[in-house]
Homo-oligomer: A and B are copies of this chain.
Amino acid sequence: MRNRAGIETQERILAATKRLLAERGLDGVTIKGICDAAEVHAGSFYNLFESKEQVVLTAVREAIKAVDPDPAGTGNDHLTDLVDAYIRFVMGDQNLARVYLMVAVSGGLTDPAIRARVLGHHEDRHARFVAALHRERPGIGDDQAAELIDALLAALNGYAFQWLLDPSFDFENHARRLLTYA
């Protein structure tokens, strides 16, 4: 149903889209830009993707998924593992992290479909962090745990944003230090 060549150019187009999204933002991305970067002609693009919207959404979906690479998980991560995973995600692929933040904010605030996706993802992550916290401090109340995790996740996202703005910001240490407050 799909040739090897087709799959390969599809991947090239997707990679180019992610790069351009990170560099130029949601509005800076054009079909021509993508095609030039991926060394593909418009006709090929439309043979593999339905629209510009579709390829952007695919890139976004992957970025969101990459925040939490193992959503099933073992069910007994520590909080430090979860924070480390986020640090790795943000520092590992800046492009993806940029796309994630931009889409979460701009898309989340303007596009209902993206908002639903972002909110759903946030809930999942929240639940997982809360479970980890309960495991580490069994005495803690449900409400208090939820609130601590709210603060932790909010601060983590805030730090990530700060670091992307200002590369001299020590994201890793700040992020780890948050655990000592909780």
Contacts and interface: CB of A to CB of B under 8 A. Distances in A.
A84 interface: no
Contacts of A155: 151, 154-155, 158
Contacts of A18: none
Tell me the interface secondary structure of chain A in the complex: helix
Interface in A149-171: 150-151, 153-159, 161-162, 164-166
B151 A161 contact: no
Contacts of A22: 109
Contacts of A25: 26-27, 106-107, 109-110
Interface of A: 22-28, 98, 101-102, 104-110, 115, 118-119, 122, 147, 150-151, 153-159, 161-162, 164-166, 174, 177-178, 181
